[in-house]
Chain A
Amino acid sequence: MPPKASRAAFGEALLELAATDDRIVTVDADLSKSTMTIGFAKAHPDRAFNVGIAEANMVGIGAGLALTGKVPFVCSFACFIVGRFETIRMSVAYTDANVKLVGTHAGIAIGEDGYSQMGLEDIACIRALPNIPIIQPGDETETKQAVAYAVGHQGPLYLRLTRQALEPVSPPGYRFQLGKSVVLRAGTDVTILASGGTVSNALDGATRLAAEGVHAEVINAACIKPLDEELILRSAGKTGHVVTVEDHSVAGGLGGAVAELLSEVLPTPLRRLGVSTFGESGDPRGLYAKHGLDPAGIADSVLKFLNR
């Protein structure tokens, strides 16, 4: 499989699933070409609603559609989705409306557009709501399965998707399950938890570490809420060191969730890699290097963390 952006895989999955499930509708706010619902909209013009650049209204309309039995995918850039947090909180979460929130353009990897378009706080915001699972798939295979899962899931849900293409990382025969993570590479010295855009870099980082004699276990944490606590605790118990790698603020995202889990259940030395400043314009690779999220940066941080 060639690399593919998870937003592109999402658009394809939606089109496929919609052929046999007429409950599926989309609600967009003038970004359907970017969220990739455009294919669905062309195939099903009567089921795709573009409300214009009015994201709060988009979220509310999605709630109303869900309350009449539709399965609405409400889509925009991740930053604009959680920009309407108050509407998500009331009209979707507290109302318990069966809305599938889709935030694309996650993280600094969107590159040149710069900070204003980067979703860097979305996981932290949504994670504070008690009833919205958060899924950030790591490649095309996982994205398509996650979208299918989202359709069947009863209740609100948040899908975090990338603009950039993702290398395939899922093992053969992989089946997505809510609350389950998967070990992509077994190891004994350190546990690396990555999600979405950082998974393949974590794997490449682990290859570099192996050359230094460090055996890293790499876990794809596509499910950020609920976390696969059992798997994470088992791995942390084995390696004694945990590193999280995410294209999101270091506060409140995957790293925050893992810190909360470990400090309460199994205190373990932890290093959170992520974004600790505002984002900025630049080429995506350069940005990942600058923020230490590329394979070399991840390997360096792990070595320092392990005092090697």
Chain B
Amino acid sequence: MARPDTARLQATARACRVQIIRMLAHAGSGHPGGSLSVIDILTTLFFNRLRFDPKRPDWPARDRVVLSKGHCVPALYSVMARAGFFPESQLVTLRKLGSPLQGHPDRTALPGIEAATGSLGQGLSISVGMALGLRLADSSARVYCIIGDGESQEGQVWEAAMAGPKLGQPAHPLDNLCLILDYNKIQLDGFVKKIMDLEPVVAKWKDFGWPVLEIDGHNVEQIDKALDQAEATKGRPTFIVAHTVKGKGVSFMENDPEWHGRAPKPAEAIRAIREILGVSDAAWGDYVKTDRATAAIVAELERLEKT
């Protein structure tokens, strides 16, 4: 892979953050914290890494992403829309009756979703099975699975952790599988450390036989480099610990368990969007006049506030 165009990826991630806030505000419910912590990873995957064709979501040679922490699907929808799987205008139908944008991923409703998730702990097993199936078919496609730190308390994760480096050996090792931990240190009820600490997480996965990489999960260059290293690693799947900040990009959401599963009100959403775009309160009025796309999103949110 070529070196990432860092500025382009950062701009894309910003745009996706805006869409996450927008769709959650329109839905009136959902999970901003973990969506904002995982978006730089998803952006780097979709726009600098994955081989896919939005016109042929079932193309057998496509790389696959299984978002095991399915409640963060707004982040996935935002990159899928941008990648052309469906129009961005559809994002505001999230969680609405009849929409393919279900509150948690539904494979049968939205082409491009690889597996139904939302019951935490299941995505890695599915990903192990996919990686094995692709190996058996001599496919060069890769599988990327993303789990949460709270999710890692589920027993099935550790069943799959045990299987990943061993299944298919020696003829079909699962080095086409890469697991990424969105280590944002917060789960639903509070801080992971206080509820049921994961540490020492690196040592655990190493002991289970996975090569482990540790990165800043908001640094697209580090993400990309780790994905390179994972792809170059032969004989075993790779585990990437991505240190992240829950609610990243919005000051009042960052590191606050309250924003795990609460949607912003329209006024909060507009403030969040302003912060994501890095515009001061004083400059906001002038900024919106120059950025028509954002102005439209803001106007839409202002209308929402009135209803």
Binding site for B on A (CB under 8 A): 25, 27, 46-47, 49, 51-52, 54, 56-57, 59-70, 72, 86-87, 89-91, 94-97
**A66 CA to B129 CA in the complex, in Å?**
8
Whole-angstrom distance between the Cβ of A94 and the nearest chain B Cβ: 4
**Chain B residues near A60 (CB-CB < 8 A):** 122, 124-126, 128-129, 156, 160
B130 touches A95 (CB 8 A): no
User: Do the beta carbons of A57 and B117 come within 8 Å of each other?
Assistant: no
User: Could you tell me the distance between the alpha carbons of A96 and B130 in the complex, rounded to whole angstroms?
Assistant: 15
In the bound complex, CA of A147 to CA of B134 (Å) = 25
CB pair B128–A86 under 8 Å, yes or no, is no
Residue of A nearest to B70 (CB): A90
The CA of A69 and the CA of B155, in the complex, are separated in Å by: 27
Other than A52-B163, A60-B156, A64-B127, give 12 A-B pairs with Cβ distance below 8 A: A27-B129, A46-B171, A57-B128, A57-B156, A61-B160, A61-B167, A64-B130, A65-B129, A72-B129, A90-B116, A91-B125, A97-B115
Indicate whether A64 sits within 8 Å of B128 (C-beta atoms), given known contacts A56-B155, A70-B136, A95-B115.
Answer: yes
Tell me which of B108, B117, B129, B160 contacts A67 (CB under 8 A). Answer: B129
B119 in the interface (beta carbon within 8 A): yes
- Name A90's contact: one of B119, B124, B131, B132 (CB within 8 Å): B119
B125 CB contact (under 8 Å) in A25, A56, A66, A69: A56
Residues of A within 8 A of B122 (CB): 56, 60, 87, 90-91
Q: Answer whether A65 and B115 are a contact pair too, CB < 8 Å, given A60-B156, A60-B160.
A: no
B60 in the interface (beta carbon within 8 A): yes
* CA A57 to CA B116, docked complex, whole Å: 15
B114 within 8 Å of A (CB atoms): yes
Please tell me which one of the listed residues A25, A56, A68, A94 contacts residue B134 in the complex, with CB atoms under 8 A apart. A68
B60 and chain A: residue at smallest CB distance: A69
Min CB distance A154 to B, Å, is 13
B118 close to A90 (CB less than 8 A)? yes
Which residue of chain B lies nearest to A49 when distances are taken between CB atoms in the complex?
B167
Q: Give chain A residues whose Cβ lies under 8 Å from the Cβ of B159.
A: 51-52, 54, 56-57
Bound-state CA distance A52–B158 (Å) is 12
CB of B137 within 8 A of chain A?
Answer: yes
Cα distance, A67 to B124, chains bound together (Å): 14
Query: Which residues of chain A come closer than 8 Å to B127, judged between CB atoms?
Result: 64
Selected A-B contacts with CB under 8 Å, 15 pairs? A49-B167, A49-B168, A51-B159, A56-B155, A56-B159, A60-B124, A61-B125, A62-B129, A64-B115, A64-B128, A68-B130, A68-B136, A68-B137, A90-B116, A94-B106
Interface status of B54 (Cβ within 8 A of chain A): no
Return the chain A residue nearest B145 by Cβ.
A64
Give the one of A27, A57, A62, A86 with max B CB within 10 A.
A57
Task: Give complex CA distance A66, B137 in Å.
Answer: 12
Residues of A within 8 A of B277 (CB): none
Minimum CB distance partner of A89 in chain B = B119
Contact of B215 with A by CB under 8 A: no
Q: Which residues of B contact A86 (CB under 8 A)?
A: 119
Cα(A113)–Cα(B136), bound, Å: 37
Report the Cα distance A60→B162, complex, angstroms.
Answer: 14
The answer on a CB contact under 8 Å between A63 and B126 is: yes
A residues in contact with B115, CB < 8 Å: 63-64, 67, 91, 95, 97
Q: Count contacts on B: residues with CB < 8 A to the other chain.
A: 36
Among B132, B155, B162, B172, the most chain A Cβ lie within 10 Å of the Cβ of: B132
How many Å from the CB of B57 to the closest CB on chain A?
A: 12
Contact residue among A47, A57, A66, A95 (Cβ-Cβ distance under 8 Å from B160): A57
> In the complex, how many angstroms separate the beta carbon of B17 from the nearest chain A beta carbon?
28
Q: Is the CB of A61 within 8 A of B132?
A: yes
Report the separation of the CA atoms of residues A146 and B132 in the bound assembly, to the nearest whole angstrom: 27
Distance from B1 Cβ to chain A, minimum over Cβ atoms (Å): 24
Task: Give Cα distance in the complex from A96 to B125, angstroms.
Answer: 16
**Bound: A174/B236 CA distance, A:** 49
Asked if B55 is at the interface of the complex by the 8 Å CB criterion, the answer is no
Chain A residues near B132 (CB-CB < 8 A): 49, 61, 64-65
- Residues in A with CB closer than 8 Å to B130 are 64-65, 67-68
The reply to whether the CB of B107 lies closer than 8 angstroms to some CB of chain A is yes
Which residue from chain A places its CB closest to the CB of B117 in the assembled complex? A90
CB <8 Å contact, A67 and B119: no
Q: Are B129 and A64 in contact (CB under 8 A)?
A: yes
Taking a contact as CB atoms under 8 Å apart, the answer to whether A64 and B125 are in contact is yes
B133 at the binding interface (Cβ < 8 Å): yes
Residues of the B chain whose Cβ atoms lie less than 8 Å from the Cβ of A65: 129-130, 132-133
Closest to A67 in B: B130
A40 to B155, CA, bound (A): 29
Expressed in whole angstroms, the minimum distance between the Cβ of B37 and any Cβ of chain A is: 23
- Tell me the complex Cα distance, A61–B133, Å: 9
Contact of A57 among B106, B108, B163, B168 (CB under 8 A): B163
Pick the residue among B116, B117, B118, B133 that contacts A68 (CB under 8 A): B133
Nearest to B119 among chain A residues (CB) is A90
Complex A-B, nearest 3 residue pairs according to Cβ-Cβ distance, in ascending order: A64-B129, A60-B125, A68-B133
Least distance between A218 CB and chain B CB atoms (Å): 39
Closest-by-CB residue of A relative to B161 is: A57
With the chains together, A86 CA to B154 CA distance in Å? 12
Residues of A within 8 A of B139 (CB): 68
Residues of A within 8 A of B106 (CB): 94
**Assembled-state Cα–Cα distance A63/B115 (Å):** 9
Map CB proximity to A onto B74-101 as digits: 1 under 8 Å, 0 otherwise.
0000000000000000000000000000
A72 partner residues in chain B, CB cutoff 8 A: 129
Give B153 Cβ to nearest chain A Cβ, in Å. Answer: 14
